[in-house]
Structure 1
Amino acid sequence: MNLPRTAALLLLIAFLAWAPVSACTIFAVTPGASEEGTMYLGHTNDGVGMDWRHIDDIRLTYIPAADHEAGAKRPVFFDPNSGSDAAGGKDGKASEWVLGYIDQVPHTYAYYTSSYGMMNEHQLLSAECTDYAKVELDAEEGKRIFYSSELSNVALGRCRTAREAIELVGDLIDTYGYYGTGETLIFADPEEAWVIEMCSSPTGTGGLWVAQKIPDGEVFVAGNEFRIRTVEEGDPDTLYTRDLFGIAEDYGLWSPSEGAFDWLEATSYGEYSHPYYSIMRVWSIQNRLAPSLNLSPYVTGSYTNALPFTIVPDEKVNRTTALSLFRDHYEGTEFDLTEGVAAGPFGNPYRCLGPADAHTDFQNESFIQVRAGANPRPVSAIFCSYSYIVEARSDLPDPVGGVLWFGPAVAYETVYTPMYAGAESISHSYRIGNRTEYDPDAAYWTFDFVSNWAMLRYDAMITDIQARQSAIEAESIGQVEEIDARATDLIAGGDEDAARRLLTNFTVARADGVIEEWQDLSAMLVVKYSNRLITDPETEAVDEPGYPAWWYQMAEYQYGPRLYDLQDLRATAGLNYTGEMVWVPKNATFEEILDLI
C-alpha cells in the first residue's frame, strides 16, 4: 500500500493519544573521551507520577539476581508514563496492568532500576530520554506490549554487553510490538556504547528502531529529540528494524527520491513543547565540553545539522566533571536563567510552569504553534525526580567497576551518592517516598526540600549548598577509591562473597551518611535564612541585606515611601533609584528635595 505523505499522517492521527510525557537529558562519555578510561552515562528523570512498577518514580529499586524454572514466563508491565506524566493525568489505555508475557531465561542478573533500568551487576549501563514521534500508538495486549522502560529492564536482566542489549531490544520490538512515545535508550559496557531510538510502526505491529554505535573517544548528548540522522545499509556500526525502509516508503514517511534515509525527519517532527526545548540542552553540554568548536545555540529548525551526533571534548572528562554535567541553568551564557527579571532579585533559575510549557506537540507537517510565555528548558529542571551518572571500568572486576552515582530530586542541588554494581541492598531512604506525602526520611524529600527552600534566597543559599555538596562528593570519591582497592583484593584472593558484603555495607552506609549530612544542611539553611534575614548560626550576627539595586529600580522603590509628598514623587518622570541616603531640611520644598535626591 502506498499512501501520500499527508494522507498517511492524517490516518495516523486516529491512533495517537498524545499527552504530556517525561522530558529527560542524557549523555554518554566513552572511555577514550574520559581521563581514567571510564565509560560514563548520565540521565535526568524529569517526570511526574507513577512508573511501570505502579509506584512513584522518585524511588530507587534493587532487583536481585534470580534463577527461573524451565518454562517460566516474565510479565511485561504497562507504563503509564508512556503517554502522560501530567500530575493526576494518568489514564492508561491497556485493559490489564500486565500487557503480556515473554519466555523467561534460566538466570537473570541483578540490576538497579526506577522509571528505567540503570546498571546491572556486569557493568551494563543504560540511560533514557523521551522523544516526539509522528506515530505513537496505544498499548494493546498481544500486539504492542513493550515500552522503553520494560525494554531497559529486560536488557539489564539478561545482557552483559551493550551490543547484546541493542540486539535484544530490537528483537523484542520486532517480535512483540512497541507502544507510546518515541524513545532513546543508551546501552554501554566498559568498552563500547550504543544509542537505540524507537517508535511505533504505522503497520500497527512491531515497531521502528535504529541503533548507532558511539565512536570511542567521543561524547553523545540527547534531550527529547531523536539524534540519529542518516541510516545506510551495510554500515557495521548501524542496526535497524526489519524492513525499515520499506515500511517508511509504504506509509509515506520517506521516499528514495528524497535521498538518504534520515531517521529524524522520517519518524519525527523534532522537538516538542517549544523551539529550543531540546536543542539548547544538547548545545549547552556540547559547548561546555568542546568550546573550541564554537557551536552556535541558534538553529533554523528542529531538523538542524548544526549540532553533531557526537563531539570530541577539548579535555578528557574526569569523574568530577561527569558529576557536574547536569548542573546547568545556562550560567555564563546569554540564556542564563539566574539573571533577569524572571529570576527575581535573588537569581532563582527555576520558573513556574504554565500551559505554554506543556509537552504537547507544537508542530506538525505544515504548522508550528507560537507559544507566548514558554520558559527556557534547563538541563537541571525543577520537576526532576532523580538523576544519575553510572560508570563502568574495564580494569576492575564487574562488582567493583560498576558504580551508580544516584542523586534524588533536582540535579543542581542534589548530592550524587555511590552505589556499587556488586552491592546487594540499598539505603532505606532511597527506597521509600511519594510526592503526595512529605517524609523527611525519604531521600527525595531530603533533597527536594533544600531546592525549594533555596528559592527564597537562591544567590546566597546556593553558595552554602555547593560548598557542602562538593565536600560530600569529594569525600565519596576518596572512599570509593579505597573500597575499590579493598574489594578488588578480596576478589583476587578468591573471596567474592566478602567483597560483596563490603560493597553492600559501603553502599548502604554511605547513602545513609549522605542523607544525615543533607538533613543537617537543611536545618542550618532554615535557621540561617529564615524571615528574609541572614543569621550566622555560629556568631548569631543578623544581616538585613535587602535587595540588589537593579531590583529596587525595577520595582520602583525610588517612589517611596521616603517622602511625605508621595503623590508629587510618583508624578516625577525619570527618577532613578540611587541607593543613597541624604539629609534634607524639614522645611525644604519638594523641588529643593528633588535637587538633592
Structure 2
Amino acid sequence: MRIRPLALLAILLSLGTGLEACTNLLITKGASKDGSTMITYAADSHTLYGELYFKRGGAHLPSEMRDIVEWDTGKFLGRIPEAPVTYTRVGNMNEHQLAIAETTFGGRKELQVPSGIVDYGSLIYIGLERAKTAREAIEVMTTLAETYGYASEGESFSIADPNEAWILEMIGKGKGQKGALWVAYKLPDGTISAHANQSRIRQFPLNDPKNALYSRDLIPFAREHGWFKGEDKDFSFADTYAPLTFGALRFCEARVWSLFRRAAPSQDLPIDYVKAVKGAKPLPLCIKPDHKLDVRDAMELMRDHFEGTEFDMTKDVGAGPFASPYRWRPMTWKLDGQEYLHERAISTQQTGFSFVAQSRAWLPDPVGGVLWFGVDDTYTTCYVPISCGVQAPPHAFAEGTGDFNAFSWDSAFWTFNFVSNYTYTRWRDMIQDVQKVQREFEGRFTAEQADVDRRALALYKEEPGLAKDFLTKRAADATAEVVARWQKLGQFLIWKYLDGNVRDEKGKVTHPRYPDAWYRRIVKDHGPVIEMKKVEGLAADEE
C-alpha cells in the first residue's frame, strides 16, 4: 500500500493518514530450490482489511466498459473499454501464474499530482485480468497509464511469471500531464531483489529490450526539468525521480538491507548506507543468495524485526519487559527539542494481508501457480496454499466475509488479529506458542504440496475442471482448518496467560519474574521509593 513522500521525517507522520508502507521480495528461477519464481508482498495499512480478492474472467462484448475505482480510497475515477477476454484472478495472481505486487515510493513532489484515471491498484488488477506473462503485464500497465493517464504517486511493481521476474517503476508527469514515466528491468536469473517504498532502479541498459524497457521520454523529460544533465548511460531513475531522504533510507531501504543480509550473510552488506553515513555505497538492486530459497525461506524472510542488528526492536526500553518488537504510531516524535524515530520493520502490526506467490513452469497453470496467502502481521500469520486455478475463494478470506468496521469470528482477518494483538502484550513468551502452531501448519502444507500436485495433475490430465474443483476444495478445507485452529489458539493463550500468570505444562499457575534487566530499569527509575527497608525505631502510638 501507500507511503507518503519522504521529504522530511516531520512530514512523514504529519500527513492525515499516517505512515503506510509495503515490502516486496523477488526470487528468480535460478535462485529458488525447485526452479519456481516467487514474489512476496506485505500490504501494510492501518485501515486495510485483509481479504482475498477474486474476479472471474470471461468474454466481453465490444460495448462493455470497466469501472476504475481507486484501490486506496474506493473513489470512482472513470471507465475504460473492457478487454474482449479477461483472465480469472485470485488475489494478486491470475490463472496463468502471473503475479503482481507493489510498494509506493512517492517521488518528486512536482510529479505527485498526475492527471489520469488509472491508479496503481487498478494497474495491478487490470494487468492480471489482461496479461499472461510478465512482459505482457508491463505492456498492458504502461499502455493504460499512457492512454488514460496515471492517477497515483511513484510506484514500484514486482511482476513475475513462471519464467521471469521484473521490477517496473513508474511515476506521473505532474499536474495537467496525462502520461507516465517508467522503467522496467528483468532480474538476472539466479538473483533476488527487493523494494520497500523507495525507488531502486538506478542505471539500466538503454539498448537491451530483452532485459530493460522504458518510456521514450524518460530521460528527455528529466533534462527538460533540469533534474539530469549527464550522459544518457549515466541516467538513474531512482536518483532522478525519487531522490533519497533520511526517511527513505531508514524506513524503506533498511528493510531491503535486512532481507539481503539474511539471504546472503556472506556478503556482509554494511549498515552504513541505511544509517545515512556520508559516502556509503548504495545497496545493489539484486544479489545472489548464499543458498537457493524455497517457499518456507521466503515466508521466514518476510518475518523480521531487525533481530541481531543495532536496529533490533526487541532491545530498547520501548520493547518493555517482554521484548516486544512493536511500536505504536507516530513513528517519529520529539522530546526536549530533539526528534527521534521508531524503526519500521518488515513485520508490522498494520499488515492487512501478505503472500508468497509461487509460479512453476513445469506444471499446468491451474496446478503450478500457488498463492501462499495470510492475513495480518507476517510474523504471526499462517500462510495457506491457494491454487491460482481455484473457482472461488475460501470463505474466511473472501470479500464480504466481515469488514474492517465490525469484529467477526467468520473472518480470518479478525481471528488472526485477535491472536496477534493479545500476543503483543507478552511477546517473548506468547510468540513461542504461536510459532509452534504456525510452523506445524506451514510445515505440513509445504510437505503435502507434492502430493497435492500429483493428485491435481492426474485429474488435470483427465479433465482440467476436475483439477480445479479439487484445488478449490483443498484451499477451502485448509483455510477453514487454520482459522478454526487459530480461534482455539486465542482461547489457549487467554487460559495460559490469564492475569499475568503463566500456566506450566501441567496447567499449574506460576508467577514468573520479570527479566533482571527490566528490574534494573525499574530500580534505576524509581529505586528509592520502592526499596524494601527494615522497620526499626518507630515510636508506639500514644493515647
> TM-score normalised to the size of structure 1?
0.82
Q: Does 1:214 align with 2:187?
A: yes
Q: Does 1:529 align with 2:497?
A: yes
Cα distance in 2 between the residues matched to 1:371 and 1:274: 20
In structure 2, the residue matched to 1:33 is 31
- Residue 357 of structure 1: how far off its partner (Å): 7.4
Decide which moves more: 348-357 or 374-383: 348-357
Decide which moves more: 425-434 or 181-190: 425-434
Q: Secondary structure at the match of 1:413?
A: coil
Q: Deviations over 1:289-316 (max 9, x none)?
A: 1111110111146996431100000101
Q: Alignment partner for residue 173 of structure 2, among 188, 201, 211?
A: 201
In structure 2, do the counterparts of structure 1 residues 349 and 198 end up closer, same or farther at CA, with 3 Å as the change threshold? Answer: same
AA of the residue aligned to 1:317: L
Task: Indicate if the aligned counterparts of 1:26 and 1:44 stay in contact, CA closer than 8 A.
Answer: yes
Q: Does 1:552 align with 2:519?
A: yes
Task: Indicate if the aligned counterparts of 1:346 and 1:457 stay in contact, CA closer than 8 A.
Answer: yes
- Residue 558 of structure 1: how far off its partner (Å): 5.0
Q: Secondary structure at the match of 1:422?
A: coil
- Residue 273 of structure 1: how far off its partner (Å): 4.1
- Residue 373 of structure 1: how far off its partner (Å): 2.7
- Residue 235 of structure 1: how far off its partner (Å): 2.5
In structure 2, the residue matched to 1:501 is 469
In structure 2, do the counterparts of structure 1 residues 474 and 357 end up closer, same or farther at CA, with 3 Å as the change threshold? Answer: farther
Q: Does 1:513 align with 2:487?
A: no
In structure 1, the residue matched to 2:305 is 329
Q: Secondary structure at the match of 1:390?
A: strand
In structure 2, the residue matched to 1:124 is 98
- Residue 136 of structure 1: how far off its partner (Å): 6.2
Q: Deviations over 1:129-186 (max 9, x none)?
A: 110210466778xx41112110011110011100110111111111111122211111
Q: Does 1:78 align with 2:45?
A: no
In structure 1, the residue matched to 2:410 is 441
In structure 2, do the counterparts of structure 1 residues 194 and 257 end up closer, same or farther at CA, with 3 Å as the change threshold? Answer: closer
Task: Indicate if the aligned counterparts of 1:269 and 1:302 stay in contact, CA closer than 8 A.
Answer: no
In structure 2, do the counterparts of structure 1 residues 243 and 275 end up closer, same or farther at CA, with 3 Å as the change threshold? Answer: closer
- Residue 514 of structure 1: how far off its partner (Å): 0.5
Q: Alignment partner for residue 160 of structure 1, among 101, 111, 132?
A: 132
What is the correspondence of 1:295-334 to structure 2 with a 5 Å cutoff?
A: 295-299=269-273, 300=276, 305-334=281-310
- Residue 190 of structure 1: how far off its partner (Å): 0.6
Task: Indicate if the aligned counterparts of 1:356 and 1:371 stay in contact, CA closer than 8 A.
Answer: no
Task: Indicate if the aligned counterparts of 2:202 and 2:237 stay in contact, CA closer than 8 A.
Answer: yes
In structure 2, do the counterparts of structure 1 residues 272 and 185 end up closer, same or farther at CA, with 3 Å as the change threshold? Answer: farther
Task: Indicate if the aligned counterparts of 2:272 and 2:280 stay in contact, CA closer than 8 A.
Answer: no
Q: Deviations over 1:376-408 (max 9, x none)?
A: 111101111111111000111100000011110
Q: Which runs of 5+ in 2 are unaligned?
A: 1-6, 8-14, 539-543
AA of the residue aligned to 2:107: A
AA of the residue aligned to 2:220: G
Q: Secondary structure at the match of 1:101?
A: strand
Cα distance in 2 between the residues matched to 1:482 and 1:351: 42
Q: Secondary structure at the match of 2:140?
A: helix
> TM-score normalised to the size of structure 2?
0.89
- Residue 262 of structure 1: how far off its partner (Å): 0.9
In structure 2, the residue matched to 1:186 is 158
In structure 2, do the counterparts of structure 1 residues 357 and 327 end up closer, same or farther at CA, with 3 Å as the change threshold? Answer: farther
In structure 1, the residue matched to 2:57 is 65
Q: Alignment partner for residue 320 of structure 2, among 334, 344, 355?
A: 344
Question: Alignment RMSD, CA only?
Answer: 2.5
- Residue 436 of structure 1: how far off its partner (Å): 2.7
Q: Alignment partner for residue 379 of structure 2, among 412, 416, 420?
A: 412
Q: Does 1:250 align with 2:224?
A: yes
In structure 2, do the counterparts of structure 1 residues 452 and 62 end up closer, same or farther at CA, with 3 Å as the change threshold? Answer: same
Cα distance in 1 between the residues matched to 2:499 and 2:396: 30
In structure 2, the residue matched to 1:489 is 458
Cα distance in 2 between the residues matched to 1:413 and 1:271: 31
In structure 2, do the counterparts of structure 1 residues 78 and 320 end up closer, same or farther at CA, with 3 Å as the change threshold? Answer: closer
In structure 1, the residue matched to 2:147 is 175
Task: Indicate if the aligned counterparts of 1:274 and 1:357 stay in contact, CA closer than 8 A.
Answer: no
- Residue 259 of structure 1: how far off its partner (Å): 6.9
Task: Indicate if the aligned counterparts of 1:273 and 1:356 stay in contact, CA closer than 8 A.
Answer: no
Cα distance in 2 between the residues matched to 1:306 and 1:80: 31
What is the correspondence of 1:97-136 to structure 2 with a 5 Å cutoff?
A: 97-113=75-91, 118-135=92-109
In structure 2, the residue matched to 1:235 is 208
In structure 2, the residue matched to 1:476 is 445
Task: Indicate if the aligned counterparts of 2:24 and 2:195 stay in contact, CA closer than 8 A.
Answer: yes
Decide which moves more: 475-484 or 403-412: 475-484
AA of the residue aligned to 2:451: E
Task: Indicate if the aligned counterparts of 2:105 and 2:155 stay in contact, CA closer than 8 A.
Answer: yes
Cα distance in 2 between the residues matched to 1:476 and 1:274: 37
AA of the residue aligned to 2:131: C
AA of the residue aligned to 1:282: V
In structure 2, do the counterparts of structure 1 residues 302 and 416 end up closer, same or farther at CA, with 3 Å as the change threshold? Answer: farther
Q: Max radius of gyration: which structure? A: 1
Decide which moves more: 202-211 or 388-397: 202-211
Decide which moves more: 288-297 or 17-26: 17-26
In structure 2, do the counterparts of structure 1 residues 555 and 191 end up closer, same or farther at CA, with 3 Å as the change threshold? Answer: same
Q: Secondary structure at the match of 1:510?
A: helix
Q: Secondary structure at the match of 1:412?
A: coil
Q: Secondary structure at the match of 1:434?
A: coil
In structure 2, the residue matched to 1:578 is none
In structure 2, do the counterparts of structure 1 residues 22 and 455 end up closer, same or farther at CA, with 3 Å as the change threshold? Answer: closer
In structure 2, do the counterparts of structure 1 residues 129 and 352 end up closer, same or farther at CA, with 3 Å as the change threshold? Answer: same
Q: Alignment partner for residue 44 of structure 2, among 39, 46, 50?
A: 46
Q: Deviations over 1:417-463 (max 9, x none)?
A: 11001111122211223333222221111111111111221111111
- Residue 356 of structure 1: how far off its partner (Å): 1.9
Cα distance in 1 between the residues matched to 2:449 and 2:137: 28
In structure 2, do the counterparts of structure 1 residues 446 and 286 end up closer, same or farther at CA, with 3 Å as the change threshold? Answer: same
Cα distance in 2 between the residues matched to 1:303 and 1:247: 28
Task: Indicate if the aligned counterparts of 1:270 and 1:302 stay in contact, CA closer than 8 A.
Answer: no
In structure 2, do the counterparts of structure 1 residues 403 and 454 end up closer, same or farther at CA, with 3 Å as the change threshold? Answer: same
Task: Indicate if the aligned counterparts of 1:62 and 1:424 stay in contact, CA closer than 8 A.
Answer: no
Task: Indicate if the aligned counterparts of 1:196 and 1:209 stay in contact, CA closer than 8 A.
Answer: yes
In structure 2, do the counterparts of structure 1 residues 357 and 413 end up closer, same or farther at CA, with 3 Å as the change threshold? Answer: farther
Q: Alignment partner for residue 119 of structure 2, among 135, 140, 147?
A: 147
In structure 2, the residue matched to 1:403 is 370
AA of the residue aligned to 1:31: K
Cα distance in 1 between the residues matched to 2:189 and 2:341: 37
Task: Indicate if the aligned counterparts of 2:88 and 2:94 stay in contact, CA closer than 8 A.
Answer: yes
Q: Secondary structure at the match of 2:201?
A: coil
Task: Indicate if the aligned counterparts of 2:198 and 2:248 stay in contact, CA closer than 8 A.
Answer: no
Cα distance in 2 between the residues matched to 1:491 and 1:302: 58
Q: Deviations over 1:253-282 (max 9, x none)?
A: 222369711111111123574641111111
Cα distance in 1 between the residues matched to 2:380 and 2:233: 46
In structure 2, do the counterparts of structure 1 residues 271 and 524 end up closer, same or farther at CA, with 3 Å as the change threshold? Answer: farther
Name the % identity.
34
Cα distance in 2 between the residues matched to 1:428 and 1:108: 24
Cα distance in 2 between the residues matched to 1:302 and 1:209: 29
Cα distance in 1 between the residues matched to 2:299 and 2:208: 33
